[in-house]
Structure 1
């Protein structure tokens, strides 16, 4: 067989009539598809309160400071008794739920919780947050399943979010009116086209997401006002200074 420059194995001269073989680009690995991040559900008020309390305890660990708002001195008369620290371990002040455990006692400025109690409370709060989130997720899935059953859709598998159904567009409505002229005895046909306007959705009220500030009882004065303002009689130190005095009845 006669060998030419185009048939010789060791030849490097290309031919214009031979189509080059396309080479596939070799990649280093399989490129995965970018996953669309699933939007997180809004946190409820209970979860926000638990997380705020846990973050406050973590930030003030070992250095409890007084509440900038002054605390509350109602002694659980106007508010519920604190479930975390119902009593100051130094001065014995009864603490209501307004006095958060990450702050010091509003009266004696002593840390309400010890280090061991603070660690135990943080662990308990983390367990409560996890349990609350799990229960809320189950309730949302149950509500979504009931909504799908009410509509008649097929149930979805796993934790997939059902597609949101948009409201159908407004369809123009045509009305035909027939009128009879009493003089000419002729029938007139008129057509009217009306487009229904979509009902506006209810806006989200900002007052629902804002927590109201509780009413706090201020610290009582050191001296009784009417005692400090009245003039004491040295001959009658036992006199009733509240007003009126004792009345002798024979």
Structure 2
């Protein structure tokens, strides 16, 4: 019989008697005093056989219960591991999609040529502080024949107008022979108003270049003051990281802070945590 109605009574008795052995001793004492379990048996071994039968039956049930419990625990662990693997796979997939999206979004534009670009009949180059523009004009063109206008919103060379360009604070220009192409080159030097960023085009309407692939001259970093040099080095590091699909310095700092916080608070669930 496997009746749970008396479990409370048995637990109370075991507690009062002080354990299993006193409980069994008390139970058999009850059978001795109040029943003919021992004296009315068919044979001398009948009582012992009855006890052993009940013991064997419940021992088998106990082993079966243990096997079922172990099987349920293995199933629970397998399901938990599968859930964690699924969450990790989904997280890795989402991170990959975000990385690919970031790379696509942040890697727009043509590959730079000398950190600038080639646009029609002119080309341009840049450093962090200056932009140099080279415009081809016919052989024999004199400086006095040129109409060169350099303003904050407009850049004109010769008789051809051009759309509005980037802002330049200071500028200069010259014209020289270009023996290689048998013409002359008008060279314009523009000083950026913001000397801490890379231009992705010279004029509005031009094809943009990918500023992540700009390669500043490391040899000139020593000429900068400490704060500016740190800023430029950080820009260069972030550009290399973005080009490789890796986090920038600021993003890495956020990840490190979140990692430390997770280690300090293992009781919290960070499975849906996302760095913004």
- TM bucket (normalised to shorter chain) is under 0.3
Higher strand share: 2
Normalised by the size of structure 2, how large is the TM-score? 0.21
Higher helix share: 2
State the TM-score, normalizing by the size of structure 1.
Answer: 0.22
